[in-house]
Chain A
Amino acid sequence: MLFTLLPVLSVFSRILLAFAPAFLVPLAWAWFLDAQHHALVWAYGFAFTTVCGLVLWRSTHRFRRELQAKDGFLLVNLVWMLLPAFAAAPLMFTVPDITWTKAYFEAMSALTATGATALSGLDALPVSVNVWRCFLQLLGGLGIMLLVVAVLPLLGLGGVQLYRAETPGPMKDTKFTPRISETARGLWGVYVLFSVACMLAYRWAGMGWADAFMHMCTTMGLGGFSSHDASFGYWDSPRIEAVATVFMALAGVSFMRYFIVLRQRSLRPLTRDREIRTYVSVLVVSILLVAVLLTAQGVIPDFPEALRTSAFHVVSVATTTGYASTDYAQWPVFAPVLLMFLGCFVSCAGSTGGGIKLVRMVLLIKQARRELVRIVHPRVVNPVTLGGAIMPNSVMTAVFGYMLIYGAATMGLTMLLLFTGLDIVTAFSAVVATVNNIGPGLGEVGPASNFGVLSDFQIWVCTFAMLLGRLELLTVLVLFTGHFWRK
């Protein structure tokens, strides 16, 4: 067991070293905007992480070897479990009255691009702390993108083989490093491009530079942290909400596609794709539905106004971002539940969003339709197709296996929270909000409140749920099987 761990640790140490400079970003902000002792905290964070990385690298360096699939699982888990710990440490010294549970939750929420917060009084925090929280989401987004586009398909779980066909670069190479670095360069290029555009748009719409930077980070990562307790309600500006809506909707699609679009200089890969068409139509229909409901029930009597509010919240929750400009939990109960439900599956495969992913949903619906045909014509051969390609049964069973575990995990974690005495709406929505990396739930953890009201145990359950959801469940759960550790 230790022997399998050592080569993985060696890679991890390099990731840690690469992660360390991230502390310089809040350091820079603290230098100009905060008190001196805050800047010191980030400097210590940088030093501590670097030293840990170096020590680890030094001691595991001689065990380096080419990583196998099994090592890949370990590595992914290690990264998403340990990096939040390093990221959480500075919070302990900068945020008043914070516990380690909350700090780790906050960092996990950031790095998984969830956006659930356990902190209140955000407006009063030092700027550098908010910058750090938000910047972590941008980093999380980068990591996730790499994970879903390059790493998970290689590990072949839950039918993610599907996404593989879309990735550019040398496909036949099954070794990790060359493919991943190839993919990463292209993806990150597009990501940075969009990020800059997003930040400028926010600035243009009326945010200050600091807010524009922070909200750009959390928009592009589909995270949803904000530097204000009231989130986007702080500005109440149609223009800012419009910018956010557009960029969230854009980020809900795999950046891979934009990469391809840029390379081929043609929009066809976007417009002709089944998943993206479904994505757009689901969003448009939901926005209209909620807007009509809000007008009809008299919550927002003015229809254009209702449309604007509806568009912002539907896109925000459906893409698993989790911004809010009003307390939508107060809307007629259908609306918030619909939003949460959309959050479970709307974001596209390969995006930084969480949940089931739309492509899986499309496959599942096709399979259900196939069953209906089979009842009438038992002997008919009607394989499920996607974009003209026939889906092999093994992919279908893998997708279903994922769904099963997804359902079971949601159910099981909800039960666990109920067991601790939470009411059903809060428990269920907290789990849905964290497993799908959405952010705010309903009830006690609704958009007007935060996860800080939960007990320590409940917060840990939610932390685990975020990790599970982000790593597509199987990656984490496989570690608990006997098979994995057997020689």
Chain B
Amino acid sequence: MFMPLLRVFPVLGAIVMVFSLTLLVPWTVSWWSQDGAQGAYLPAVAVALVVGLLLRCAVFKVGRKVELQTRDGILLVGLVWTLLPLLACLPLLLYFGQTAQPISVTDAYFEAMSGLTTTGSTVITGLDALPGSINLWRCFLQWLGGMGILVLAVAILPMLGVGGSQLFRAEATGPMKDAKLTPRITETAKGLWTVYCVLSVACVLGYWLGGMSALDAWAHMFTTMSLGGLSTHDSSFGFFQSPTLEWVAIVFMLVASCNFALYFVAFAKRQPARIWRDTEWRGTMGLLLGASVFVAGLLLVKGTMTDPLETLRVALFNVISIGSTTGFATVDYTTWPVFAPLFMIMLSGVATSAGSTGAGIKMARVLILLKQARREMSRIIHPRAVYPVHLGGHVVQTGTLLSVLGFMLVYGGTIIGLTMLLLLSDLPFDTAFSAVVASVNNMGPGLNEVGPAGNFQGLTDFQTWVCTLAMLLGRLEMLSFLVLFTPGFWRK
């Protein structure tokens, strides 16, 4: 039981130590602008360094050359996503500890988890009044989370074969045959992070030229590229009232909801056409744009809005924001005809591509499921016919198919189970359901109490923990976290 833990500690320690350095970014900003939160960062850096060093100490026990196995990989991923939020919430605890309204550990951990899983739910109100560096830290966490997720989704999960993610492997970069974790991950990470950084720079320029202050431009770039959705303003993007900025956000949210590995391959091979020939890319783009136009039509017909162009822009922004699991809002869309907000929330479960920073079921799985459903229909009429399921020219094997279906089941089970838990704590049905869906899909705002006009602050501690768990589960594609709780995992 302890041995597997010890084996991953050195790597975990290294990750924690690198992570501690990222705290220097908000510290620098804070020190530069003297925003009153200077004292919140250095203690946190110290704690993180000490924790990291202690974990590194495990080296003496297990030796320097530990080759990580699949099982270690799963454990490591689980530990990273539970431990880092704990460290990341330290500055929040320290800062709010010295103000009039201290924040509870529950809330701070929730906020940090929401950051690192790129969810974008918040329990803090009065964002506009916070020191710039604290806001920057919240947003920066999402960007870091995005980096982690890219590697997770493209290199680690497919390797583990979680929920049929073997599928996504085909498009990934780097040497495929190597079964060892480290070299492949390094290779993939390099490629993906380059693309991520290049797009991020483009995004920050866009925001800056569009009229944001430097700090806002950086903060919102962080949360756009990672499809996170935290903002430095209580009214989110509604604060700016700027069509230009909304268009910039629309473009970059769309870009970020697609597979980064695809961009990398297209760029490395100098074949831009690969992008729009990709089935999944088409699925994501088609669905998001189609849904936006549909909602725009609905708003016009129902008379919620009248100006066609403005309606289109508002619909594009909000539908893409929710559908891509970002969670920005320019208006309180829960006041739209009830069909629209629910439709958008459903969309967040299916629209983003595998290998993006989005969450949910992923378009690749959705496409396979659709094909499988159609196949079952055909099989009813011709029971003996052979209908393989194709995706992007490859035949999907039955084993993979069953894995995808198994994933769906656990996904559905998770949503139902967690909703039941929230209902048990006396939340109304639509709040409970939407909070769980919004958290599991790492999207952010739900409906009612937890809607875009409210936040998760009103929940009890127990409910906040349930949502925290939901975010974590959704981010780690359920199975790779749940497997830690099976006895088979710990058996020799």
**Contacts from A to B (Cβ < 8 Å):** 69-70, 73, 155-158, 293, 332-334, 337-338, 341, 364, 367-368, 370-378, 393, 396-398, 400-405, 407-408, 411, 415, 418-419, 421-425, 442, 474, 477-478, 481, 483-484
In the complex formed, the residue of A with least CB distance to B377 is: A481
B406 touches A376 (CB 8 A): no
Partner of A375, one of B342, B373, B380, B483: B483
Q: How far is the CA of A69 from the CA of B375 in the complex (A)?
A: 18
Q: How far is the CA of A404 from the CA of B365 in the complex (A)?
A: 12
B483 touches A333 (CB 8 A): no
**Which residues in A have their C-beta under 8 angstroms from that of B162?**
375
A372 touches B488 (CB 8 A): yes
B409 touches A368 (CB 8 A): yes
Given contacts A367-B405, A372-B483, A415-B343, contact A378 B420 (CB under 8 A): no
Nearest chain B CB to A161's CB is how many angstroms away?
A: 10
Nearest chain B CB to A415's CB is how many angstroms away?
A: 7
B106 is an interface residue with CB less than 8 A from chain A: no
B376 touches A337 (CB 8 A): no
B407 is an interface residue with CB less than 8 A from chain A: yes
B380 touches A474 (CB 8 A): yes
A415 touches B339 (CB 8 A): yes
Q: How far is the CA of A477 from the CA of B380 in the complex (A)?
A: 11
**Which residues in B have their C-beta under 8 angstroms from that of A424?**
338, 342, 429-430
Count of chain B residues near A, Cβ 8 A: 55
What are 16 pairs between A and B in contact, CB < 8 Å? A156-B383, A337-B429, A341-B416, A374-B403, A375-B161, A378-B70, A397-B398, A398-B379, A400-B372, A404-B376, A405-B373, A415-B342, A418-B342, A478-B380, A483-B378, A483-B382
**Which residues in A have their C-beta under 8 angstroms from that of B398?**
393, 397
B377 touches A371 (CB 8 A): no
Q: How far is the CA of A401 from the CA of B378 in the complex (A)?
A: 11
A474 touches B402 (CB 8 A): no
B381 is an interface residue with CB less than 8 A from chain A: yes
B381 touches A401 (CB 8 A): no
**Which residues in B have their C-beta under 8 angstroms from that of A368?**
406, 409-410, 413
Q: How far is the CA of A424 from the CA of B343 in the complex (A)?
A: 11
Nearest chain B CB to A153's CB is how many angstroms away?
A: 12
**Which residues in B have their C-beta under 8 angstroms from that of A393?**
398, 402
Nearest chain A CB to B102's CB is how many angstroms away?
A: 32
**Which residues in B have their C-beta under 8 angstroms from that of A402?**
376
**Which residues in A have their C-beta under 8 angstroms from that of B71?**
376
B408 is an interface residue with CB less than 8 A from chain A: yes
In the complex formed, the residue of A with least CB distance to B378 is: A483
A373 touches B369 (CB 8 A): no
What is the predominant secondary structure among interface residues of chain B facing chain A? helix
Q: How far is the CA of A411 from the CA of B350 in the complex (A)?
A: 13
Instruction: A483-B381, A483-B382 given; name 7 further pairs at CB < 8 Å.
Output: A156-B383, A333-B427, A371-B406, A373-B488, A375-B480, A415-B342, A442-B429
Contacting residues of chain B (363-417) with chain A, CB-CB under 8 angstroms? 369, 372-373, 375-383, 398, 401-403, 405-410, 412-413, 416
B160 touches A375 (CB 8 A): yes
B337 is an interface residue with CB less than 8 A from chain A: yes
**Which residues in B have their C-beta under 8 angstroms from that of A376?**
70-71, 74, 483, 486, 488-489
In the complex formed, the residue of B with least CB distance to A475 is: B380
A425 touches B377 (CB 8 A): no
Q: How far is the CA of A293 from the CA of B426 in the complex (A)?
A: 11
In the complex formed, the residue of A with least CB distance to B346 is: A411
B228 is an interface residue with CB less than 8 A from chain A: no
**Which residues in A have their C-beta under 8 angstroms from that of B343?**
415, 418
Nearest chain B CB to A429's CB is how many angstroms away?
A: 9
Partner of A371, one of B375, B403, B489: B403
**Which residues in B have their C-beta under 8 angstroms from that of A403?**
405, 408-409
**Which residues in A have their C-beta under 8 angstroms from that of B412?**
407
**Which residues in A have their C-beta under 8 angstroms from that of B483?**
372, 375-376
Given contacts A371-B406, A372-B483, A374-B403, contact A401 B160 (CB under 8 A): no
A425 touches B430 (CB 8 A): yes
Q: How far is the CA of A100 from the CA of B408 in the complex (A)?
A: 40
Q: How far is the CA of A36 from the CA of B121 in the complex (A)?
A: 68
In the complex formed, the residue of B with least CB distance to A369 is: B486
What 6 A-B pairs come out closest when comparing CB atoms?
A401-B376, A371-B406, A400-B405, A334-B423, A418-B339, A334-B424
Nearest chain B CB to A208's CB is how many angstroms away?
A: 39
Q: How far is the CA of A398 from the CA of B387 in the complex (A)?
A: 13
**Which residues in B have their C-beta under 8 angstroms from that of A418?**
338-339, 342-343
Q: How far is the CA of A10 from the CA of B427 in the complex (A)?
A: 55
A478 touches B429 (CB 8 A): no
**Which residues in A have their C-beta under 8 angstroms from that of B458?**
none
**Which residues in A have their C-beta under 8 angstroms from that of B479?**
371-372, 375
Q: How far is the CA of A73 from the CA of B339 in the complex (A)?
A: 34
**Which residues in B have their C-beta under 8 angstroms from that of A400?**
372, 402, 405, 408-409
A421 touches B409 (CB 8 A): no
Nearest chain A CB to B365's CB is how many angstroms away?
A: 11
In the complex formed, the residue of A with least CB distance to B374 is: A481
Q: How far is the CA of A368 from the CA of B161 in the complex (A)?
A: 14
A364 touches B409 (CB 8 A): yes
B163 is an interface residue with CB less than 8 A from chain A: yes
B381 touches A367 (CB 8 A): no
In the complex formed, the residue of B with least CB distance to A442 is: B429
Nearest chain A CB to B486's CB is how many angstroms away?
A: 5
Q: How far is the CA of A483 from the CA of B385 in the complex (A)?
A: 12
Nearest chain A CB to B420's CB is how many angstroms away?
A: 7
Q: How far is the CA of A408 from the CA of B376 in the complex (A)?
A: 14
Q: How far is the CA of A85 from the CA of B371 in the complex (A)?
A: 36
Q: How far is the CA of A401 from the CA of B368 in the complex (A)?
A: 11
A397 touches B402 (CB 8 A): yes
Given contacts A333-B426, A373-B486, A375-B74, contact A367 B406 (CB under 8 A): yes
